[in-house]
Amino acid sequence: MAAHLSYGRVNLNVLREAVRRELREFLDKCAGSKAIVWDEYLTGPFGLIAQYSLLKEHEVEKMFTLKGNRLPAADVKNIIFFVRPRLELMDIIAENVLSEDRRGPARDFHILFVPRRSLLCEQRLKDLGVLGSFIHREEYSLDLIPFDGDLLSMESESAFKQVANMMIRMKREFTGSQNSVFPVFDNLLLLDRNVDLLTPLATQLTYEGLIDEIYGIQNSYVKLPPEKFAPKKQGDSGKDLPTEAKKLQLNSAEELYAEIRDKNFNAVGSVLSKKAKVISAAFEERHNAKTVGEIKQFVSQLPHMQAARGSLANHTSIAELIKDVTTSEDFFDKLTVEQEFMSGIDTDKVNSYVEDCIAQKHPLIKVLRLICLQSVCNSGLKQKVLDYYRREILQTYGYEHILTLYSLEKAGLLRPQAGGRNNYPTIRKTLRLWMDDVNEQNPTDISYVYSGYAPLSVRLAQLLSRPGWRSIEEVLRILPGPHFEERQPLPTGLQKKRQPGENRVTLIFFLGGVTYAEIAALRFLSQLEDGGTEYVIATTKLMNGTSWIESLMEKPV
Amino acid sequence: MDCYTANWNPLGDSAFYRKYELYSMDWDLKEELRDCLVAAAPYGGPIALLRNPWQKEKAASVRPVLEIYSASGMPLASLLWKSGPVVSLGWSAEEELLCVQEDGAVLVYGLHGDFRRHFSMGNEVLQNRVLDARIFHTEFGSGVAILTGAHRFTLSANVGDLKLRRMPEVPGLQSAPSCWTTLCQERAAQILVAVGPDLYLLDHAACSAVTPPGLAPGVSSFLQMAVSFTYRHLALFTDTGHIWMGTASLKEKLCEFNCNIRAPPKQMVWCSRPRSKERAIVVAWERRLMVVGDAPESIQFVLDEDSYLVPELDGVRIFSRSSHEFLHEVPVASEEIFKIASMAPGALLLEAQKEYEKESQKADEYLREIQELGQLTQAVQQCIEAAGHEHWPDMQKSLLRAASFGKCFLDRFPPDSFVRMCQDLRVLNAVRDYHIGIPLTYSQYKQMTIQVLLDRLVLRRLYPLAIQICEYLRLPEVQGVSRILAHWACYKVQQKDVSDEDVARAINQKLGDTPGVSYSDIAARAYGCGRTELAIKLLEYEPRSGEQVPLLLKMKRSKLALSKAIESGDTDLVFTVLLHLKNELNRGDFFMTLRNQPMALSLYRQFCKHQELETLKDLYNQDDNHQELGSFHIRASYAAEERIEGRVAALQMAADAFYKAKNEFAAKATEDQMRLLRLQRRLEDELGGQFLDLSLHDTVTTLILGGHNKRAEQLARDFRIPDKRLWWLKLTALADLEDWEELEKFSKSKKSPIGYLPFVEICMKQHNKYEAKKYASRVGPEQKVKALLLVGDVAQAADVAIERRNEAELSLVLSHCTGAADGATADKIQRARAQAQKK
């Protein structure tokens, strides 16, 4: 069912099965018919672990979105709220429960906190006088959602810092309560997004990265404009064009997608055309099929071939859509400016392209992304430049954005240069962040994912595995935040002997989000023959520059 | 060996009963048993004695003593009874002593005579006094049934979860019934009462008359009744000297026996073994003990002294001043092996092993005999099983030795049963020891489970033994050692004569970091004993902050709780403490506390942002955080205020705050915003239309679109909009209006700071090629090719590109040469390229 999760070195399907089991157990605790009231935010992540059919098997008859006032009518015995532990949501739930029709049939209320129960929320329910109405109040620890064979995400917008300390604590707390587990991972690398503010700001240039940049991938689904996907039939003069967005799931269960997702977009076209030839050749085979046995064999391959053809058609359409964007002049101009910044050209001056974007009132997020990129690539902007940009933004987009500017400053994305020193060139040179000779078709270095820029975060991971961080201590000192390494001694019984040629597995945990391009870069490293390390990636949130800036924007009114 | 079956007494054809001594009691009883209220707990539990002075003379001047002994007669507790008259004693399933007083109050004591709690059986009982009471056990726990002076029954099926039920009235019951008992059927407790010749069954709803089937005629009264350990069977002793035995449902009769004694027996209890077909009753009179079953004869014993019967799962314990005995049906395995002239495989194996030890060849003969019948496996199993039923280690050993011997001749005999039996017997022998005094049989032990046995050892404070058992059986630490250590620690904290430091240190030394030990539970116990300081010290050892916090809060150590919560990194926990603190402290102190805890402060700010905006402001004020205060006012100017004046006032406050924060930029920007707001208001008044909340840029655009160019100019000047942007703005606005004339005028007003390419682009966007061409000619040389291509003049674009000798531009033009008409141009470019290469 979710075979794509079990391919990797570490079988993540186990994780998915575990959360599914937990969900079933909870549902079975509430006997009788049920309606689920969803915190809208949770529906996406839940879709990755359980389909409606699973819920239906456990007598879930209705689903609603959590809203104020009264619950919609439903002839069910149980009402279950699936919510994040948020005070605002508690207020809504209380409203729901209190306005429940007393004369109606008695119903049982339950609440499932995702991912954690919260004393605070329960206190709030108590204050509102409804705590007693809930029969089961439980937590559902949907912490890490398996997205793909090597990718886990917590899908939470905000995450803790200083997790490392806490993990060491937790280790002490949980000893004894858990049996010794045979370790699946050899190393764990925790990376705080603060260390690398730069990478997400740049436009991702891998296939998957571009899909995300342009259309936004939500919980592994993407919604695309439908025109390109209209079935091409003769006589159908396009009057029945579908108007609803085309929704596609993207993961490595799809063979073709697995092959092209992490490629630089410029290398995707050739793969697609090669694939097209292979498939049509395969279909041509039927003319060669003479004997009954041959025909039978051909027919048995048909479903697979048809799926492949469908998949090819989809991705060809997507690639066309993306190409329309990437060949546009504006995209080219923007990319040029980004690359100038990242290679350290004119980062200390007001950029005229950015100026023009503001003057033409391009989307604010685009402008902010560029300015933040410039700021990060210059270790902060000169006060004069910064004030000019800010004034332009306030005058053009409205003074209310002063709050957004301030929160970007707090996040370190858009700030004045401290001490008048620009550390970025040192970092860039030592870590070889800018590579001039990029081979987009057959990459030799991770820099292909941004056509020149090698993501800092991934470079750090690469250097950690070989030759180790001792060689770059100078740079680590400049990077924000402390760094440290901790060795965890294993009981001797659990130490495994590595087979010759067997790679080490590193779990790399991005605190504060990771981009698809970074993932692509890590997968590239995993596949390197002499790399010696395979990566499994976990994160608090899958993100790109746009969603990141969006989360930092504050909109009054 | 010859005398091994000497204490076996046959009852009927198929069963033997044997009685053996468990302990010789050396308790120094001052009283006769008959003068005391006696209660002995099942499963080899403790014995409680209370001299009953209230029975005879009223208001005895001497207070009686309540004594508790182990089953072997070791004193566990002795205390002076200071409360009211006691009617009945009984042990709960948790080995707590329930003392039912005449006034219906039930006092609960621990095994060591420590008072636990008390509860009342209700007003009705209080008024009518207690006539008689029974403590009984069901699957739900221990219950109390009471017969009041008004001849009514009140019952609680579980004293742990006290729910009193008053049973219906029994018709014609004017005086105390001759006998009664509690039953448990279909998960409900019932009462069976004998009134003269009639029997009544009471449940919570009704009182129904019942008749035991096949009862011998002539009964005018029931003298005694007994219900079996599992509530499945019932026995009735009639005044005609008959004993009727049947099912507890009174639907079926098992047998009836005429014992020819009409004197009411002192005690009557069932003696049967689980999974045995034999049913027997043990009846005790002053000096006579009789075992009666489905057989014409009975077994008779003489009682030398006052004795007391304790029904067990698989037999009856009988104790007196001097001894403690166990009477039970001989188990099948033992019978098979030891029955005289038995040829059972087990018996032969035992014999074979003995011969083997004597180095006699007969061993081989016996063994061969078993093997020929193919019964060696069965023989080994029999020996193992029989060993379990032996009380004396010597006999256990010899049976196990036989089993072990037999095992040698078997392939693939699974060793678990043998190993487990050895382990179980070691545990049993240990707890049966005189000093421990828990005479459990193997069946009882299996029924009870090791967990419960450990609990009982812990209750008796036999921690070292319990730990040894855990280690011996290799129980998981969480279930075993850790749990016992935790219990020990809980006991330790109650030792008031030891100082806090010493207790804490002692506990930590023993427990260390033993996994699964909850220091917070121990601390909670310490706090329960009023030792707050000790509790805090113990909590220091608790690794899970989440566990420390709630107790600290309970102990009103909120500030400590706060720092612990912060350490835990669990925001939810921090919030919980914060809200607690907020209610506990006054605002000033609360803020001060927050100030010392930056993380708590920032979390609280988060909370306030969503929940209590005003508090947030106060917080910023207190911290002199002017920057945040400014942001706060900005937010307020958008969210809270409707009227312009209010918004401006809020912005003014924001600006002031920004100045204080030395954020000149923000202050100026805010002042600009105020200026803009006022201006927009004026514009709306004067020109109509919607201006409020437009950005400055959009305001100017709107003015141009509305034809108010002068005002637009003025505004741009006032706010110092940079020239470049102003040009873009005007260009976009005029193109939107399609006011080409004005656009041209504007383009000529001075040299464009943004060049003329944007003019071309925007005209083309509006599909006005004619206008676009006008500007194309004015585009500077750098962008000229692009502009010409935009307006579709490929030929000229080629000329310019060739002139500029720019390879990139040439390619660009070439890529635009698509139509047939462009053929010439393309050739031209190719030629130019070739020429360039020649040079």
Q: What is the DSSP string of B412-456?
A: S--SHHHHHHHHHHHHHHHHHSTTT-----HHHHHHHHHHHHHHH
- Yes or no, beta carbons of B695 and A395 under 8 Å apart: yes
Q: Do B543 and A358 touch (CB under 8 A)?
A: no
Q: What is the pLDDT of residue B57?
A: 53
**Looking at residues B323-335, what average pLDDT do you find?**
91
User: Torsion angle, CA of B690/B694/B700/B704, rounded to 10 degrees?
Assistant: -40
Inter-chain CB proximity B638 and A556 less than 8 Å? yes
Q: Which residues of B310-344 are buried (b: 16+ CB within 10 A; e: fewer)?
A: bbbbbbbbbbbbebbbbbbbbbbbbbbbbeeeeeb
Provide the pLDDT confidence category of residue B492 given band limits of 50, 70 and 90: confident
The helices-and-strands tally (H runs, E runs) of chain A is: 20, 13
Residues of A in contact with B812 (CB under 8 A): none
Give the domains, in start order, of chain A with CATH numbers.
3-142 (3.40.50.2060), 144-199+455-492+500-556 (3.40.50.1910), 207-228+244-327 (3.90.830.10)
- The model's pLDDT over B376-397, given as tens digits with 9 standing for 90+, comes to 999 999 999 999 999 999 999 9
Tell me, yes or no, whether B299 lies in a domain: yes
Indicate yes or no: CB of A397 within 8 angstroms of CB of B695: yes
Segment B590-595 mean pLDDT: 80
The arithmetic mean of pLDDT across residues A487-496, rounded, is: 51
DSSP state of A223: E
- What's residue A178's pLDDT? 36
pLDDT at A89: 85
Sign of CA dihedral B137, B138, B139, B140: negative
**Of A161-165, A468-472, B589-593, where does mean pLDDT reach its minimum?**
A161-165
Report d(CA B713, CA A227) in Å as an integer: 45
Residue A490 pLDDT > 80: no
CATH code of B293's domain: 2.40.128
pLDDT at A336 over 90: yes
Residue from A351, A399, A555 whose CB has the most chain B CBs within 10 Å, to mutate: A399
Q: Look at chain B and count its residues.
A: 839
Residue given tokens 């010439």 in the structure block: B824
| Chain A: residues touching B (Cβ < 8 Å) | 85, 87-88, 116, 118-120, 123, 160, 162, 165-166, 169, 172-173, 175-177, 355-356, 358-361, 387, 390-392, 394-400, 402-403, 406, 554, 556-557
Of the candidates B295, B330, B365, which is a domain's last residue?
Answer: B330
Kindly determine whether residue B697 and residue A395, on different chains, have CB atoms separated by under 8 Å.
yes
Query: pLDDT: is B741 or A481 the higher one?
Result: B741
Instruction: Indicate whether B55 pLDDT > 50.
Output: yes
pLDDT band at residue B61 under the 50/70/90 scheme: low
Identify residue B149 by its one-letter amino acid code: G
Average pLDDT over residues B558-564: 79
Residues facing residue A537 across a β-bridge: A151, A508
A545 within 8 A of A518, measured Cβ to Cβ: no
Range A368-387 average pLDDT: 92
Residue A409 burial class via C-beta count within 10 angstroms: exposed 0-12, middle 13-18, buried 19 and up: middle
Name the residue with higher pLDDT: B731 or A468: B731
Does B372 fall in a domain?
no
| Interchain CB contacts (distance < 8 Å): A and B | 113
Contacts of B561 in chain A (CB under 8 A): none
Using CA atoms of B346, B350, B356, B362 in order, give the dihedral in degrees to the nearest 10.
-70
**pLDDT score at A395:** 92
Per-chain mean pLDDT for chain B: 86
pLDDT at A442 over 80: yes
Query: Is the Cβ pair B576, A123 closer than 8 Å?
Result: yes
Q: Do B576 and A176 touch (CB under 8 A)?
A: no
pLDDT surpassing 60 at residue B63: yes
Q: What is the mean pLDDT of residues A531-547?
A: 83
User: Is A169 a residue whose pLDDT tops 60?
Assistant: no
Contact A396 B695 (CB under 8 A): yes
Q: Closest-CA residue in chain A for B568?
A: A166
Q: State residue A390's pLDDT score.
A: 93
pLDDT surpassing 70 at residue A170? no
CB within 8 Å: A406 and B627: yes
Residue B692, domain member (yes or no):
no
Q: Is the per-residue pLDDT at A503 higher than 80?
A: no
Compare all CA atoms of chain A with the CA of B519 and give the residue at the minimum distance.
A173
* pLDDT score of B771 more than 90: no
Q: What is the reported pLDDT for A249?
A: 85
Q: How does pLDDT run across B86-100, given as a tens digit for each residue?
A: 999 999 988 899 999
How far apart (Å, rounded) are the C-alpha atoms in residues B561 and B549? 5
Q: Is the previous residue joined to A467 through a cis bond, with omega within 30 degrees of 0?
A: yes
CB contact under 8 A, B515 and A398: no
Point out the least confidently predicted range of A42-56, B161-175, B737-751: A42-56
Q: Which residues of B touch A166 (CB under 8 A)?
A: 569
pLDDT at A4: 59
B758-790 burial: b if 16+ Cβ within 10 Å, else e: bbbbbbbeeebeebbbbbbebbeeebbbbbbbb
The residue with tokens 């692009």 is B786
Amino acid A10: pLDDT: 59
Can you give the residue range of the structural domain that contains B780?
755-838
Per-residue pLDDT band for A281 (boundaries 50, 70, 90) equals confident
What b/e sequence results for A503-541 when a residue is b if at least 16 CB atoms lie within 10 Å of its CB, and e otherwise? bebbbbbbbbbbbbbbbbbbbbbbeeeebebbbbbbbbb
Is residue B434, in this structure, part of any structural domain at all?
no
Please judge whether B516 and A177 are an interchain contact, meaning their C-beta atoms are less than 8 angstroms apart: yes
Least confident of B117-126, B233-242, B380-389, B545-554: B545-554
The answer to whether the CB of B324 falls within 8 A of the CB of B22 is yes
Q: Is residue B313 part of a domain?
A: yes
Is pLDDT of B29 > 70?
yes
B532-539 vs B545-554: helix crossing angle, rounded to 10: 170
Residue A556 has pLDDT above 60, yes or no: no
Strand order through the sheet with B222-227: B222-227, B233-238, B242-247, B253-258
Quote the Cα angle for B528-B533-B537, to 5°. 105
Instruction: Give the distance from residue A352's alpha carbon to the nearest chain B alpha carbon, in angstroms.
Output: 10
Q: Give the Cα separation of B142 and B162 in Å (integer).
A: 10
Identify the band that residue A235 occupies on the pLDDT scale cut at 50, 70 and 90. very low
SS3 label, residue B505: helix
In a domain, B671, yes or no: no
Range of A537-546, B487-496, B584-593 with top mean pLDDT:
A537-546
Pairing of strands B65-69, B253-258: unpaired
pLDDT tier at A240 (50, 70, 90 boundaries)?
A: low
Residue B107 resides in a domain: no
CA gap B426, B187 in Å, rounded: 36
Residues in chain A: 557
Q: How confident is the model at residue A180 (pLDDT cuts 50, 70, 90)?
A: very low
Structural domain includes residue B92 = no
Tokens 């707890």 sit at which residue?
A: B431
Predicted local confidence at residue B798, as pLDDT: 83
**B641 falls in which pLDDT band (50, 70, 90)?**
low
Among B278, B313, B330, which residue terminates a domain? Answer: B330
Range of lowest pLDDT (A108-122, B299-313, B602-616, B791-805)? B602-616
Q: What percent of chain B has pLDDT over 70?
A: 97
User: How many separate domains does chain B show?
Assistant: 2
- pLDDT at site B515: 65
* Alpha-carbon gap: B485 to the closest alpha carbon of chain A (Å): 15
The mean per-residue pLDDT over the stretch B119-139 comes to 89
Chain B contact set for A394 (CB, 8 A): 669, 672-673, 695-696
Q: How far is A172 from chain B (nearest CA, A)?
A: 7
For the ranges A131-135, A502-506, B227-231, the lowest mean pLDDT is seen at: A502-506
| Domain's final residue, options B314, B330, B346 | B330
Alpha helices in A181-291 (DSSP H): 207-215, 255-260, 265-288
Q: B739 falls in which pLDDT band (50, 70, 90)? A: confident
Q: For residue A490, how many C-alpha atoms fall within 13 Å in the half-sphere facing its CB? A: 14
Confidence of residue B5 (pLDDT cuts 50, 70, 90): confident
